[in-house]
Chain A
Amino acid sequence: MDALWLRANVIKTVRDFFWERGFLEVETPLLIPANAPEEHINPIITLPSWQLQTSPEICMKRLLCSGHQKLFQISRCWRSNERGSRHLSEFTMLEWYRAGCDYQTLMTDCEELLQYVAASCRPDSHCFVRNSAQISPFTPWQRITVQEAFLRFGQVDVWDCLRKGLYEDILTAVIEPALAGFGSPVILMDYPVELAALARVKPDNRDLAERFELYVGGLELANGFSELNDPHEQRRRFEEANCSRRNAGEEELPLPEPFLHTLATMPESAGIALGVDRLVMLTAGVDTIDEVVAFTPEEL
């Protein structure tokens, strides 16, 4: 099938999935005064005090604060200077949020969503494809902690890698290729707290955050967590991110103040972001993001 038809079909299927489950589809502003400051994410700043969203999370969490229980949004996001075989500076993100739940519920959502998309968009095989390998969302998914993955696939300690600045190298050169060998999606969970700017820490282990990443065929597809709703801790983490940015010679970013002011009223909740372009890549079985968009920036 033509890639654009497949793309449209995947997006429609995702939308059907959430509508059937009673989620409210929302549209929040794409141009905002402040994103959540992160050490390694650079927003595109269009006007002196306005940025394009790097994710809709700030606005969606404010909707949780005003009482909405189940929300989803499919929107464009922008991150400066990100371009590779799996990255575009402008890309399409699916985010969904649930009040009264933690990250375990989101993992179940992921299982159901991927099964729903595979069954509807790959009616013959019910499988996704990455590097010619078939990945079935219908065989049981493994859930592996980050530390377990580093020990098992890299024979290294994740804390040690973080200290030595080797975390990204090991993750992309060793762990992700190992995850590509699984015939079903894999969930990598319980990240060191320093890698989870907006996630809640685990009640029984203050060094870990309730964050997980979904991998399909070794491709990182989604990132979800139990949301932090402590405004003081959230402000401290934003300031820490800005401090790291300053030390790395990056500009500091403004804080989303209205979000911080309402955060105390946010119920216990969980939220997740999933790369729609990558979901289309996996459904189409293609290697690069270029093959699933109407135009790449280089073609404009």
Chain B
Amino acid sequence: MSVTENVMGGVIVMFIFLIAGAIVIHNLTGHTVDKMELTKNKYLEEAYSSDFNALLQATEPTTMRSFSDLLTDALYYRQDNLTFGNTTINTREFFTSTLDAAIGKGRYYMEIKPKIIEVSLNFVIDGSNSLQDEREQLAEELPSIIEGVKKKIYETGEEIVVANVYILGNKYDLKDRQKCDIYNTDRADITCYVIGAEELYAAPDDFNNETYDVNSKDQYKVEFNVTPPYSDVDYVRNIRKAGEKDYYEADWGAGVAYASAHNKGMARLVVLFPVSDELSTSSIPDACFHISDIPRQKMCDLCNTGCPAERSSASVEKALQVAKANGHIVNPIYSFTCDYDYKPMFNTYFEIVNSRSTSNVCSEAACGGCSVNNGVCFHPDCESVILEQMNHVADETFGKVINLEDIQNLVYDISTAIDDNIEEYKFRLGQEYDYAARFVSERSLPLPNKLMTDAKLFIYPNKNEVA
């Protein structure tokens, strides 16, 4: 009995030894294999990093510009086709053929996006009463919009987000100046300005080379010929007296140009949001600005249904030129919510000037200002033209139009647009494989606007890479 016990004891001891040995060996082997993998990966990482350096130096044959220069230009201007003098090159083709030949087809993915450490949000808001709700909603929600953008771009905690609000109006008019009071300008990151004709348009003296300061921030007005729509020999920038709706109160085109120029040359992402329910320079036809008699003027403002599309387009084109030159994004906010500030006294005007008018003239289809069927809207026939021009400026600057159907969605719509702007500010080449083994090399490259950008090259190794 005791022999059996001893033999069994021995067997158990041996078994324990073997199991323990197997575990120790397994661990040691695993550790050694990991070490081997680590050594191999370290080598491949260095080798691919060296390959990336070589690729960035490769020269494009017609322009003699380097791969890295073209890469940052293509990202900055967000165009595949870049023109240098008389030569236009397809950068994507150049990058793809170079990478295919050097790394191998299907074995790489390249992504380049700006390193955003500072964002400037600029709201250019029509100063008319119909936009009062939007201005108030924005004032309330601006802090949370800023915090949302900060979270989106967070990397080191040193990111800066600032917001500037430009209200189009007459800064000499107390009522217009007070429109800034609702913004929490005690915060260092929120600033509000009332800008009017003086700020928006160049004066004739500005075009005099001898007296004009070419280094001024307002030099853009001369360069892009930003002048008021009615400037002539008797140069005027204000057509109507203070308190009366003037064209510059709705000139979001000139407002965007101003905001863009005042954010020029800064190494940051600048996003511009013109907010309006009218054509740029207003939906009021030209003829109405030359009527001095107030009742007739109001009648014309509200009931002349012609849309001044060309006047508006000229202003929008200026905005486009300045924003594009500065590499800024424009996301126009269209807020045509039929909440035009209808005043019963308008009917009095109609009765005075139009003998055919009755007290319910606003129900007539001919009246641009009011319509029972559509609610109280200002020149509803201009809606399609406004949207067309807003889409044009958004398309050209890589922004998007926000059609604000419900004012409660203002924060969501703005935040989504900014997210899209940041996300779309990328240039990608090759195919990204989510779960494949890969080696990533990263380089910081400068963009033309001094913003730094991260270029990442993902290389997917072959199974038996190295040999």
Task: Report if A and B associate in a common complex.
Answer: no
**Contact residues of A with B, CB < 8 Å?**
none
